[in-house]
A and B are shown apart, each in its own frame.
Chain A
Amino acid sequence: MSEHQALKRPIITLPFILLAAVALVGLYFLAIRFTSGMGFVTNLNSGYAWGIWVVYDVIVGTALACGGYALAITVYVLNKGEYHPLIRPALLASLLGYALGGLGAFIDMGRWWQFYNIFLPWHMNFNSVMLEVGLCVATYILVLFIEFSPTLLEKTGAKGLLKTLNKVLFFFIALGVLLPTMHQSSLGSMLIAMGHKVHPLWQSLHIQPLLAVLTALIMGFAVVVFEASFTAVGFRRPSETPLLTRLSKGIIWLMGLYLIIRFVEIILRGKLGLIFAGDLGSWMFLLETILFVFPLFVLLSPSLRQRGHYLLYAAVSMLFAGSLYRFNAFLITYDPGPGYSYFPSVSEIMVTAGVVAIEIMAYLFLVKKFPVLHNADPA
């Protein structure tokens, strides 16, 4: 019947208990945030209105949740059916990542009790990039849930519903490709309106949406490679390295395209000198570029890319590269002007850690209870 099965392992393990402890600490500070105000938990100020709750939980977090997006393009648009075994765990990670991105946005919302205003047509501002992001992310969370629901229905045995769903699923898969393309590019467009506060090396104006969607895809594929390799190691399941090696060839094109556009923009706008300015921006740019180039080097080498752990290093490097690109643009080199500084407080970090812990706990629970992972014996 299904090619997927639940991992028959105990839910309550030592890592699970540790994660629960982190989640509890996060929830404690979250309670303070909602009763006393954000100022008691975060180091946000008038110059830095967005801290790690937005930049990590939403902007980086949703890109890390692009595995489902990247694979949907590969399997359903480019018709590479052989990658099908990877799609369920990727979809689950995407669903959780996006759901918690949405939760992160809600936690950060200063007037959260009015959050629904963004869905009311008479309040909408169609010039706002933030509106597009908000509506698109909310819809995509629903779409991801629908895309993932066959896994839940298989378990509960609702055969009739499953059959109906499978008939219309193609439409939701198509939406599941369109929506991330839209809001991931918009996350880039958001930087345009932030204007001079964005470091020139990251302020690419009209190119922002393209660079954002490319980094989202790179991170999406990296997360697929990472999860597949890591699940194989962590749960001692057979490795899917041959499959991943083939997938990496596509990643090479993506990374090459990204680096070319990134550097051509910098050269054409005469910003090349800033790379060697020796300040924070220049060092962060160099670090970010190394993190992008290293995986490209690994993937281009026929011998290195066949080896599982090198593939894992490459994936990790890509994840850091894409995350750093966004962190740099939105926070690290972001400069609202003299007199402002920001570094997240311990309680602020703990809230983010708590949110991530909940995400991982949910993932572990679901793969052990529902048919998410592909059968150990290839069908």
Chain B
Amino acid sequence: MKRRDFLKASLGGTAALLSSGAADARGNLEPAEDAIGMLFDSTLCIGCKACVSKCKEVNGMPPVAMEDETQYDAARDLSPQTLNVIKAYMEGVGTHKDQAIDGFAFEKRSCMHCVDPGCVSVCPVTALRRHPKTGIVTYHADACIGCRTCMVGCPYNVPQFDYDNPFGQIHKCQMCNQAGVERVDKGMMTGCAEVCPTGATLFGSRKALLEEAQRRMTLSAGEIYNYPRGDIRKPESHHEKQVPAYQKHIWGEKEAGGTNVMHISAIAFDKLGMPPLGERSYASISETVQHTLYKYLALPAVALAGLTFVVRRNTSDDEGGDS
């Protein structure tokens, strides 16, 4: 009698909790107020890798050697010693720049500084943080336990763990603003944007960069456009160049909630190795499920009360609950 009432009540509570939880499902996070970002225009990149080299200098990482020679930097992909890399796309004879067939193109790989970062959402110990103002995603080794959930939770495979070091840590681009570097705080731009000779990597606020990208989308192929270099707020110089046939797609405007580092290109992004992402961030789905089940720990508390009641009743039947 009593038990039945109790179970009924707790079941009713469960249903209410589930529906209320579903009501405040979390959507994608919004871009930070003064989000800082970069715009990478693949059509401007000449593959000089000055950005790769400068990145190593700023972050105190050694260049990667090709065979025995250390020439500039021969990093092929992101690694614990390479936070930024230029990769080449090649198809067929590979002679025409920015052409999908028989062409080639360059693509930058570095942290995209997601607006709704998966790494930040999954980290159990808050070792990855999104700066509330700048939106920059930073890593804090003093908190990190090395579980590497950030690596599986990052759609771009950006966080890199030092497997060859018994006391390793995660390495990722922190927009040259980590403690001890703080270029952005000092009013400087990121190392990679500073040295880019063509303005392929442009630094600035996410808003301004998105406007610039949208402007380029409206240009028609063949016309002349005056491309800025460096920091979009105060470009160091400009250069005139024929506009390529852009894909009408700004990567990072919407992908999985958007990114602060955005890419534009003349070649479809799946060919350049970008992952298949929709507009909803996986972090928002995961957190909605998690907070539906664990809001104020109410559901587990109700379940525990019900279970304790039932188990107590069932164990007292056979004298003291021998287990």
Do A and B associate with each other?
yes
Seen from chain A, the residues whose Cβ lies within 8 Å of a Cβ on chain B are: 33-40, 42, 44-47, 49-50, 75-77, 79, 81, 87-88, 91, 105, 108-115, 117-118, 123-132, 134, 147, 150, 163, 166-167, 169-171, 173-175, 177-178, 181-182, 185-186, 189-190, 192-197, 205-206, 208-209, 336-340
Known: A40-B164, A111-B169, A190-B149. 19 other contacts (CB 8 A): A39-B163, A47-B157, A75-B314, A77-B310, A111-B146, A111-B168, A117-B144, A118-B125, A123-B125, A124-B125, A127-B287, A166-B322, A166-B323, A167-B320, A169-B321, A174-B312, A177-B311, A193-B286, A337-B157
Beta-carbon contact of A79 and B314 below 8 Å: yes
How far is A88 from B118 in the complex, measured between Cα atoms in Å? Answer: 42
Interface membership of B15, Cβ < 8 A: no
- Which residues of chain B are near A126, meaning CB under 8 Å? 294
Seen from chain B, the residues whose Cβ lies within 8 Å of a Cβ on chain A are: 77-79, 118, 120-126, 141-149, 151-153, 155, 157, 160-170, 256, 273, 275-277, 282-283, 285-287, 289-291, 293-294, 300, 303-304, 307-308, 310-312, 314-318, 320-323
- Which residues of chain A are near B168, meaning CB under 8 Å? 37-38, 110-111
Beta-carbon contact of B155 and A166 below 8 Å: no
B80, closest chain A residue (CB): A46
A36, closest chain B residue (CB): B166
Q: Tell whether A110 pairs with B149 under 8 Å between CB atoms, given A91-B323, A177-B311.
A: no
Beta-carbon contact of B123 and A39 below 8 Å: no
Q: Tell whether A129 pairs with B166 under 8 Å between CB atoms, given A50-B148, A173-B323, A174-B308.
A: no
CB-contact partner of A42 in B122, B163, B315, under 8 A = B163
- Which residues of chain B are near A182, meaning CB under 8 Å? 293, 300
Q: For the complex formed, measure the closest distance between the CB of B154 and the CB atoms of chain A, giving whole angstroms.
A: 9
Majority SS of interface residues in chain A?
A: helix
Q: For the complex formed, measure the closest distance between the CB of A287 and the CB atoms of chain B, giving whole angstroms.
A: 24
CB-contact partner of B289 in A114, A197, A208, under 8 A = A208
Beta-carbon contact of A46 and B273 below 8 Å: no
CB-contact partner of B317 in A79, A125, A167, under 8 A = A79
Q: For the complex formed, measure the closest distance between the CB of A224 and the CB atoms of chain B, giving whole angstroms.
A: 15
How far is A42 from B168 in the complex, measured between Cα atoms in Å? Answer: 15
How far is A185 from B163 in the complex, measured between Cα atoms in Å? Answer: 30
How far is A233 from B152 in the complex, measured between Cα atoms in Å? Answer: 42
Q: Which of B273, B290, B312 has the most CB of A within 10 A?
A: B290
Q: For the complex formed, measure the closest distance between the CB of B285 and the CB atoms of chain A, giving whole angstroms.
A: 5
Beta-carbon contact of B124 and A46 below 8 Å: no
How far is A50 from B122 in the complex, measured between Cα atoms in Å? Answer: 14
CB-contact partner of B122 in A34, A87, A129, A178, under 8 A = A129
Beta-carbon contact of A37 and B126 below 8 Å: no
Beta-carbon contact of B320 and A124 below 8 Å: no
- Which residues of chain A are near B286, meaning CB under 8 Å? 129, 189, 192-193
Report 9 cross-chain contacts, Cβ distance below 8 Å, ordered by A residue: A76-B315, A123-B125, A166-B321, A167-B320, A170-B308, A171-B311, A173-B311, A182-B300, A194-B282
- Which residues of chain A are near B165, meaning CB under 8 Å? 37
How far is A46 from B76 in the complex, measured between Cα atoms in Å? Answer: 13
Beta-carbon contact of A115 and B290 below 8 Å: no
- Which residues of chain A are near B141, meaning CB under 8 Å? 111
- Which residues of chain B are near A175, meaning CB under 8 Å? 304, 307
Beta-carbon contact of A177 and B151 below 8 Å: no
- Which residues of chain A are near B294, meaning CB under 8 Å? 126, 132
Beta-carbon contact of A110 and B148 below 8 Å: yes
B294, closest chain A residue (CB): A132
- Which residues of chain B are near A336, meaning CB under 8 Å? 152, 157
Beta-carbon contact of A173 and B152 below 8 Å: no
How far is A127 from B289 in the complex, measured between Cα atoms in Å? Answer: 10
How far is A76 from B321 in the complex, measured between Cα atoms in Å? Answer: 9
